[in-house]
Amino acid sequence: MKYDRIPKELYIRNREKFKALMDKSALAVFNSNDIYPISADSTMPFQQHRDILHLSGVDQEESILVIFPEASNPAHREVLFLRETNEHIAVWEGEKLTKEAAFEVSGIKTVYWLNQFDSIFKQLMAEASSVYLNTNEHLRANTEVETREDRFIKRVKENYPVHPTRKSAPLMHRIRSVKEREELDLMQRACNITEAGFRRLLGFIQPGVWEYEIEAELAHEFLRNRSKGFAYTPIVASGKNACVLHYIENNQQCKDGDVILLDVGAEYANYSSDLTRCVPVNGRFTPRQKEVYNAVLHVKKEAEKLLVPGTIMSEYHKQVGLLMEEQLLKLKLIDKTDIANQRAEWPAYKKYFMHGTSHFLGLDTHDVGLWNEPIQAGMVFTCEPGIYIPEEGLGIRIEDDLVVQEQGAPFNLMGNIPIEAEEIEALMNA
């Protein structure tokens, strides 16, 4: 790992929050991710499953966490199972966690090697009244690939058919959605790294550069600041490409007179940042480009004010839609007839602003959370309105990362990143 060690007290508190929501006499199991193959002996870079990471801090493959608060043996109330390390593994793959190091990372005193799991788990299940299993219940989840967690769930249901099963996902969504102070500090660091990358670009972008060259500048800046790189696949979309919401080819040359939409963010310690800014290729917005830019910025500033405790996200998105409708009327992109004839399920504004305004942010870029409950202080959301005009070859989206506060407006983790059109122009022409 490139990042500094995170204090184990964070993971101790996270486990206590999870335990407080568990049923009586139940145990819970969390598995690490696999290292996914590509072909031959090639693999994807390892990415830890966010739930075991959130509860233990263990950031390596072939790891299992068991939480059993009412185990008769106090040593078995929290247990880590790790792949046994040795000199051969150290030479070929690098250092893995020892039992002592695992305690320093997680605060868990009982650590066994993975080859002991089946026998110890059998003992624990004999005591447990039910078992929490960890399924991926994110609303956007793509579950075509069978994970290590999926295989484990099959084994449990085959080997322990009379044990009632519980879902850990709703509990994890609840505790992960409200961030601890240490998590906010890590997210701030990710945002600061993103800021460094964006400021670097303002002196680099000019007519004739290629989108992939811009991506490379960001990658350089992110890596030199101890990030693993992008928190998600970067979007570097110039001109009409900005009207493709998930444009990731990044293979076109940037032309004089166009605007580049940059939806990019660094990760740090597995925590995501998520930034969108739009900059003119030649350093100056045209009057029309600036008019659209400022309309989006106005919606963003007004939408932020709604991210306060008690807000229901479905109502929030309706309110943002009305803000956008007002701006699209001023831009003459829609008229009152369009509004009069609109369908409730597809308002007129959606012709030019077709996506949501905010999503949870944390260990995942589209983080888990409770969409049907009022938002709370400590939650982190993006705010990212946009206007996309294919007939003008112009797409504008502006996005920051916001922490909901107990009172008042949210705290902007990206408050130091240039956002006003005039400031961006001044820095590009400095």
> pLDDT tens, 192-240?
999 999 999 999 999 999 999 999 999 999 999 999 999 999 999 999 9
Identify whether 23 is a catalytic site residue. no
Classify 69 as helix, strand or coil. Answer: coil
Say if residue 85's pLDDT is above 80. no
For CATH 3.40.350.10, the residue range(s) in the chain are 9-176
Looking at the DSSP bridge assignments, the partners of residue 66 are 29, 79
CATH superfamily of 9-176: Creatinase/prolidase N-terminal domain (3.40.350.10)
Identify whether 277 is a catalytic site residue. no
Q: Assess contact for 62 and 83: CB atoms under 8 A.
A: yes
Distances in whole angstroms, Cα of residue 241 to Cα of each of 65, 137, 146, 234: 44, 32, 34, 13
Angle at 253 between CA 244 and CA 237, to 5 degrees: 25
Considering the candidates 247, 397, 400, 401, report the single residue annotated as catalytic.
397
Identify whether 401 is a catalytic site residue. no
For CATH 3.90.230.10, the residue range(s) in the chain are 181-428
Say if residue 24's pLDDT is above 90. yes
Say if residue 88's pLDDT is above 90. no
The pLDDT value given to residue 91:
60
Backbone angles phi, psi at 397, to 5 degrees: -135, 140
Identify whether 397 is a catalytic site residue. yes
**What stretch of H or E contains 79?**
strand 78-82
Read off the pLDDT of each residue in 351-366 and give the average, rounded to a whole number: 98
The pLDDT value given to residue 90:
66
Identify whether 220 is a catalytic site residue. no
Angle of helix 169-177 versus helix 9-21 axis, rounded to 10: 130
Say if residue 269's pLDDT is above 80. yes
Considering the candidates 384, 400, 401, 425, report the single residue annotated as catalytic.
384
How do residues 112-123 score in pLDDT, each as one tens digit? 999 999 999 999
Say if residue 95's pLDDT is above 80. no
pTM: 0.96
Considering the candidates 274, 325, 364, 401, report the single residue annotated as catalytic.
274
Considering the candidates 388, 400, 401, 425, report the single residue annotated as catalytic.
388
Identify whether 298 is a catalytic site residue. no
All residues at 6 or more sequence positions from 64 whose CB lies less than 8 Å from its CB, including other chains: 29, 30, 31, 32, 52, 80, 81, 114, 117
Considering the candidates 355, 420, 422, 423, report the single residue annotated as catalytic.
355
Identify whether 325 is a catalytic site residue. no
- When the pLDDT of each residue in the chain is averaged and rounded to a whole number, the result is 96
Read off the pLDDT of each residue in 308-331 and give the average, rounded to a whole number: 97
Backbone angles phi, psi at 80, to 5 degrees: -110, 140
What is the pLDDT confidence band of residue 86, given thresholds at 50, 70 and 90? confident
Q: What percent of the chain has pLDDT over 90?
A: 94
Identify whether 359 is a catalytic site residue. yes
Structure token digits, residue 282? 């030649």
Considering the candidates 359, 364, 367, 400, report the single residue annotated as catalytic.
359
Say if residue 392's pLDDT is above 80. yes
Q: What is the CATH number of domain 181-428?
A: 3.90.230.10
Angle at 153 between CA 147 and CA 159, to 5 degrees: 140
Say if residue 28's pLDDT is above 90. yes
The pLDDT value given to residue 414:
98
Lowest mean pLDDT among 134-148, 169-183, 320-334, 390-404: 134-148
Identify whether 355 is a catalytic site residue. yes
Identify whether 317 is a catalytic site residue. no
Structure token digits, residue 244? 């493709």
Distances in whole angstroms, Cα of residue 385 to Cα of each of 198, 254, 369, 396: 19, 23, 20, 9
Considering the candidates 211, 217, 258, 263, report the single residue annotated as catalytic.
263
Identify whether 49 is a catalytic site residue. no
